[in-house]
Structure 1
Amino acid sequence: MENLTQLVSVITPVHAPSIEHLSGAYASLVKQEMPDGWDWQWLVQEDGQTGALNGVLPDDSRISIGGGRPGGPGVARTLALSRVAGQHVKVLDADDQLTPGALARDIAAFEAHPQIGWTTSRVLDLMPDGSTLGWDKDPEGGTIGRGAVLAFWQANGYRSQLHPATLCIRRDLLLALGGWMALPASEDTGLLLAASAISDGYFTREHGLLYRKWPGQVTSQASHREPVEYEGRMKIIEARAVALASMLPSGLPLTPAA
């Protein structure tokens, strides 16, 4: 990894129940065939400082393990930003897996469309029995105009047409937005909407992620949809995206990364 500008930094927040799935996430990274001159680094960040990751991951120079005071996945992700060396930052939850070619497709989108700030892709739900389920309402592939994600989200009951767990975002844009939102959940949705409010993006029709469905999944817990907090999170996410769009009516001009 001599040329650090040709690097995708993959950030994975971890809490105790999801550690058992890290081996699958790692295996999906190892299987990635990267374009010439590119590599990945994996920033695994414990949401806490328990030492639970000691001895869990293999000896791979591309892996960087960190920890910090517990604050939820958004805090863990943002703390991991201090170790990012790549020009693109890829989201990968501890219980999910990338599909073959996912990182290469992200890189290709950025290279073909230098005006975009982020990419997403289709998702397959990975069920407990190993089967997969898709969604039949994905948008067409190609560029996603600034503001389109927010407009869809507002018109469809706080549901995005894009999956935030597939996000790959330019490092400079991510830092300009302050990392992930300081929310107990939905921080990845908040980042996607904020980025899309000020920058064009790209959607890849190929499936880029296996999104694991299992009992310990944070988004499957009743607390994730507790009405008062849920409504509050959605209002904060919306207000931030609207404010960014209003303050930067022409969007955020991006130039190709050096």
Structure 2
Amino acid sequence: MGVVSRIVSVVKPVHEAALTFLPEAFASLRAQELPDGWEWEWLVQVDGGNAADVPAGVSEDSRVKVSDNRRGGPGVARTLAWDRSRGELVKVLDSDDILPAGALARDIAIMEAHPTVGWTVCRADDLMPDGSLQHNTLGDPEPGLLALGELYAYWATTHRPGVHPATLCIRESLLAEAGGWMALPASEDTALLLALDVMADGWFIGETGLHYRKHAAQTTAHPDHRAGDEWDALIGAIRKRVNALAVRHPPA
């Protein structure tokens, strides 16, 4: 009887305009070296497009599972992709981002070494249009344990998460308890991060684990992502959800 591998499921929502970035993301995933006994799967979810449009060099790999859905936004696409996952860990990877060497191995190492840690985040570098890398200055904490509610306390006064939510790796059981991603027009990853933060301790990894592509078509570049009725409603919905979860998960 063969050894059963442990799986980290990489969830990737993609819209039609970002399909051209998939081969570069796929190359970064194939280059990951995982600890013995681990393997990855890649759940690509085409939001508002056709799975057949995913480049053949990506979709032909047996570890890649491609599907599509009617337009629902990134939160909906992530949740639908997660439904198809088999892993005990779920790693997020946005449609236009790439993983530097060692990213998955570091996530796995922390989760194995610290059974009470429910999720990890890490340093991220912005991948600029000219190909250069710049450190993303969200206010990274010191590497190590992130205590229950630490990030939410910071966000409640700044509306900034303090770490990059696009670097999340989560125990699948905790993600299920959190209910997946909120159906928001943007910041659904921040909403999940803050929910996780009041449910379980996290861990900040000081090494760079994401190259976050910066370009004009990003949802976070839209003016409604900074102010206005939509922004106020988004902030309010996140606050309601996280406050309700915090009551259910008080500090020990």
Contact 2:78 2:181 in 1 (8 A): yes
The answer to whether 1:14 aligns with 2:14 is yes
Residue matched to 1:148? 150
Contact conserved, 2:16 with 2:49, CA < 8 A, in 1? no
The 1-side partners of 2:237 and 2:79 are apart by 18
Matched residue type, 1:130: G
One-letter code aligned to 1:35: P
Offset at 1:81? 1.7
Partners of 2:58 and 2:30 lie apart in 1 by 13
Percent identity over paired residues: 50
* Shift, 1:54, TM fit: 6.0
The letter for the 1-side match of 2:127 is L
- Structure 1 residues 13, 56: closer, same or farther in 2, change over 3 A? farther
The structural deviation recorded for 1:58 is 4.7
Match of 1:88 in 2: 89
The alpha-carbon deviation at position 132 of structure 1 amounts to 0.8
Q: Aligned residue for 1:230?
A: 231
Report the secondary structure of 1:165's partner residue.
helix
Tell me the SS of whatever aligns to 1:198. coil
Q: How does 1:212-223 map to 2 (within 5 A)?
A: 212-223=213-224
**2:126 alignment partner, SS class:** strand
Q: Which residue is 1:106 aligned to?
A: 107
- In the TM superposition, residue 48 of structure 1 has moved relative to its aligned partner by 2.3
1:32 is matched with 32
Shift of 1:2: 5.9
Contact 2:34–2:105 at 8 Å: present in 1 too? Answer: yes
Note the C-alpha offset of 1:211: 0.3
Between 1:45-54 and 1:98-107, the stretch displaced more is: 45-54
Looking at structure 2, the residues matched to 17 and 69 of structure 1 have their Cα atoms a distance apart, in angstroms, of 15
Counterpart in the other structure of 2:181: 180
How far residue 226 of structure 1 moved from its aligned partner, in angstroms, is 4.5
Alignment deviations for residues 63-107 of structure 1 (CA, whole Å, 9 cap, x no partner): 000111210010011011221110000000110001100000000
Q: Secondary structure at the match of 1:208?
A: strand
Shift, 1:61, TM fit: 0.8
What are structure 1's unaligned runs of at least 5 residues?
Answer: 252-258
> 1:155: how far off?
2.3
2:164 corresponds in structure 1 to 163
- Say if 2:148 and 2:251, in contact at 8 Å, map to a contact too: no
What secondary structure does 2:35 align onto? coil
Q: Could you list the runs of 5+ residues in structure 2 that have no partner in the other structure?
A: none
Q: Name the counterpart of 1:63.
A: 64
Question: SS state of the match for residue 133, structure 1?
Answer: strand
Moved more, 235-244 or 83-92: 235-244
Q: Deviations over 1:93-135 (max 9, x none)?
A: 1100011000000001101111011000000000000111114
TM-score normalised by L of structure 2 = 0.94
Following the alignment from structure 2 to structure 1, what is the Cα–Cα distance between the partners of residues 215 and 49?
Answer: 25
Q: Distance in 2 between matches of 1:180 and 1:135?
A: 23
Considering only aligned residues, what root-mean-square deviation do their CA atoms show, in Å? 1.6
Three-state SS of the structure 1 residue aligned to 2:212 is: strand
Residue-pair matches, total: 249
TM-score, normalised relative to structure 1:
0.92
> Could you report, residue by residue, the CA deviation over 1:175-226 in whole angstroms, capped at 9, with x for unpaired residues?
1111101111111110000011110000000000000001222211223335
